[in-house]
A = this chain, B = another copy of it.
Amino acid sequence: MNDQTPDSATDIPALMQAMGQRARAAAADLAFASPEAKRRALEAAADIVTARLPDILAANAQDMAFGRDKGLSPAMLDRLELTEDRIAAITAGLRAVAAQDDPVGAVIAEWDRPNGLHIQRVRTPLGVVGVIYESRPNVTADAGALCLKSGNAVILRGGSESFHSSGILVEALRAGLHAADLPEDAIQLVPTRDRAAVRELLTMTDYVDVIVPRGGKGLVGLVQAEARVPVFAHLEGICHVYIDRAADPETALKVTLNAKTRRTGICGAAECLLIHRDVVDSIGQGVIRALLDAGVEVRGDATLQSIPGVTPAQEDDWGREFLDMIIAARVVEDIDAAIAHIRRYGSSHTESILTEDDAAAHRFFQRLDSAILMRNASTQFADGGEFGMGAEIGIATGKMHARGPVGAEQLTSFKYLVTGQGTTRP
């Protein structure tokens, strides 16, 4: 955490500009830090988190008390809470990112020209990343680690509920940087709960290269509307599962159940089920009943309402992110109708086709353009860790620069290195 812990009388724009300047300076050095130094910093941070376990639990207890006073819901308090196990998961995440290949300097492509020029395209950090998030303190560690790995400075702005927990995690990350002789200002936490700091962060185009918001639709929508710098984000995860005519019944049953019910509050949870008309009475019936038996409220179209327990879907149930034990379900004429429905109502996050037909899967993969398209797999796999990225700073549904789960590699840009032998252009 920074030296200043200003009260409400502080000049927030000046404070944020100063943080931005420090971040920019740190980024210039971090850009060419050795892979070994960055790895050492992350390992040291993990050691320090482990050593300071009692302090972290005490800081988190303060945050939990504040959260209870504030009347946070049990679900929010659960996200906020740190336990020994959760802190162990944080250190494991830091070590996993430390062990990854360093993306900076990696040669993405290289080729020779007839005139003898050798051209390389190599990865380079983006610069300064701003991360705005809500209650979960582990985002502090994940985002800090991924930005450090990718050579970017980061300005973290956690939710006011996690103020003390995030503060102590940032102290550990900065101590890790210090231990590896890297600039501590590469990781900074906004030292105020004042919301004006968020507005400033979103518009500091001189000092911030990209903003990553992590949280609910309210937070992400605000960031997308007000940011004057690029944003990597998804507003909603309206994920679809399509049971094709050629679906395997067993796969359809277990994947649909998993996609809806494993965890309902995450962005990769399925919100809408589309069923090919030819298999409604066979596979469809079984899947819908299994969902109902699992306690899911199924809001179906006219055809599906004939199944006992299915309630009528309203027009606004299509394209709706329930984040709960509710699913919208509809019968479609064919795969093209499924694709058309997803194009109309989807949020370009994750969709899965359940089919044994290669041609159908190919059509689904080719004609849809969500960040993640799946075949015979649960939408709940939409996650950087599950993709093998060690962690993720967020999931992006835009098409500029980063897309899908954003790990260290997607936090880089590139530059061209061109080598000649006194080569001149005719």
How distant is the Cα of A415 from the Cα of B405 in the complex, in angstroms?
Answer: 11
Stretch at the interface among A133-141, A142-150, A275-283, A376-384: A376-384
In this complex, how many residues of chain A approach chain B with their Cβ under 8 Å: the count is 60
Per-position binary interface string of chain A over residues 389-411, scored 1 when its CB falls under 8 Å from any chain B CB and 0 otherwise = 00000000001110110000000
Residues of B within 8 A of A4 (CB): none
Interfacial chain B residues near A218, Cβ < 8 Å: none
Q: Tell me whether A307 is interfacial, beta carbon within 8 Å.
A: no
Partner of A418, one of B111, B381, B413, B417: B381
B418 touches A372 (CB 8 A): yes
State whether A419 touches B127 (Cβ < 8 A).
no
> Which of A162-170, A247-255, A330-338 interfaces with chain B?
A247-255
Q: Are B418 and A254 in contact (CB under 8 A)?
A: no
For residue A255, which residues in chain B have a CB less than 8 angstroms away from its CB?
420, 422-424
Closest to A256 in B: B424
Closest Cβ neighbor of A210 among chain B residues:
B400
Q: Would you call B416 and A373 a contact (CB within 8 A)?
A: yes
* Beta-carbon contact of B32 and A415 below 8 Å: no
Q: Which residues of B sit under 8 angstroms from A371, Cβ to Cβ?
A: 415-416
Assess whether B373 is in contact with A415, with CB atoms less than 8 Å apart: yes
Most chain B C-beta atoms within 10 Å of own C-beta, residue among A371, A414, A415: A415
A290 at the interface (CB under 8 A from B): no
- A386, CB-defined interface residue at 8 Å: yes
Contact A251–B375 (Cβ < 8 Å): no
Q: Which residues of B contact A370 (CB under 8 A)?
A: 415
How far is the CB of A63 from the nearest CB of chain B, in Å?
A: 29
- Does A372 contact B424, Cβ atoms closer than 8 Å? no
User: Closest B-chain residue to A232, C-beta based?
Assistant: B400
Protomer copies: 2
Inter-chain contact A250/B417, CB cutoff 8 Å: no
B424 touches A258 (CB 8 A): yes
By a CB distance below 8 angstroms, the chain B residues around A386 are: 113, 117, 425
**Does A204 have its Cβ within 8 Å of any Cβ on chain B?**
no
Alpha-carbon distance between A325 and B193 when the two chains are bound, in angstroms: 55
Chain B positions within 8 Å of A258 at CB level: 424-425
Q: Of the 9-residue stretches A176-184, A195-203, A361-369, which lies at the interface with chain B?
A: A361-369
| Other-chain contact of A414, B251, B262, B403 (Cβ < 8 Å) | B403
Which chain B residues lie closer than 8 Å to A230 at the CB level? 230, 400
Let me know if B400 and A401 touch, CB within 8 A: yes
Given known A-B contacts A32-B367, A230-B400, A378 and B424 have beta carbons under 8 A apart? yes
Does A126 count as interface, using CB distance less than 8 angstroms?
yes
A73 on the B face (CB < 8 A): no
> A209 to nearest B CB, angstroms?
6
A376: chain B residues within 8 A (beta carbon): 419-423
Whether a CB of chain B sits under 8 angstroms from the CB of A60 is: no
B248 with A423: CB separation less than 8 A: no
Which listed residue, B381, B403, B422, touches A250 by the CB 8 Å rule? B422
Contact across chains for B113 and A388 when beta carbons are under 8 A apart: yes
Measured CB to CB, the closest approach of chain B to A76, in angstroms, equals 24
* A374 contacts B418, C-beta separation under 8 Å: yes
Residues of B within 8 A of A400 (CB): 126, 209-210, 230, 400-401, 413
A91 interface hit (Cβ, 8 Å): no
Chain B: minimal CB distance from A138 (Å):
19
User: Is A404 a contact partner of B416 (Cβ separation < 8 A)?
Assistant: yes
The answer on a CB contact under 8 Å between B254 and A399 is: no
**Nearest CB of chain B from residue A217's CB, rounded to whole Å:** 19
A374 / chain B contacts, CB cutoff of 8 Å: 417-420
By a CB distance below 8 angstroms, the chain B residues around A421 are 251, 376
Residues on B with C-beta less than 8 A from A378 are 420, 423-425
Asked if residues A415 and B372 are in contact (CB atoms below 8 Å), the reply is yes
Asked if A124 lies at the interface with its beta carbon under 8 angstroms from chain B, I say yes
Contact between chains at A399 and B126 (CB < 8 Å)? yes
9 inter-chain pairs at a CB distance below 8 angstroms, sorted by A residue, are A28-B343, A105-B366, A113-B386, A375-B418, A375-B419, A377-B418, A377-B424, A378-B425, A403-B413
